[in-house]
């Protein structure tokens, strides 16, 4: 049982380049999330998808777009990467968005923008 799988694990981009971070879960979860983690800032929510077919902005959505491709997959796209987007990105999933649903995290993508 793989849980939440993120690809790639590492990526280096030049300013202005674009890329898509992929995330897939095999737990039949309804809800999926993208967080970024920066030193001293904790985890900050970029976008989430409460259920297939819906997406909503989180705390720091600027510069990002998302696609909930199907129930399993939720991708994050950087259209024009900036150095401020250097971070570790975590995808997570949960059974739902009720108050008692814990998150299950992928292993993260470490992104450097030069």
Partner 1 sequence: QKEVEQNSGPLSVPEGAIASLNCTYSDRGSQSFFWYRQYSGKSPELIMFIYSNGDKEDGRFTAQLNKASQYVSLLIRDSQPSDSATYLCAVPPYASGGSYIPTFGRGTSLIVHP
Q: How far is the CB of 67 from partner 1 (least distance, A)?
A: 19
- Give dist(CA 70, CA 15) in Å, integer: 30
The answer to whether the peptide bond before residue 51 is cis (omega within 30 degrees of 0) is no
| Residue 73 DSSP code | B
The residue ranges that bind partner 1 (CB under 8 A) are: 33, 35, 40-45, 48, 50, 56, 58-59, 90, 97-108
Nearest to partner 1 of 58, 63 (CB atom): 58
Q: How far is the CB of 16 from partner 1 (least distance, A)?
A: 28
Q: How far is the CB of 34 from partner 1 (least distance, A)?
A: 12
Greatest CA separation for the chain = 40
């Amino acid at each position: 049982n793989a849980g939440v799988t993120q690809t790639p694990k590492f990526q280096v981009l030049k300013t202005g380049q674009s890329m898509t971070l992929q995330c897939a879960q095999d737990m039949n979860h309804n809800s999926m999330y993208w967080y970024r983690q920066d030193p001293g800032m904790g985890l900050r929510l970029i976008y989430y998808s409460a259920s297939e077919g819906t997406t909503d902005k989180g705390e720091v959505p600027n510069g990002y777009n998302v696609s909930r491709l199907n129930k399993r997959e939720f991708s994050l796209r950087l259209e024009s990467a900036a150095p401020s987007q250097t971070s570790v990105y975590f995808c997570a999933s949960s059974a739902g968005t009720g108050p008692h649903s814990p998150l299950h995290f992928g292993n993260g993508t470490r992104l450097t923008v030069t």
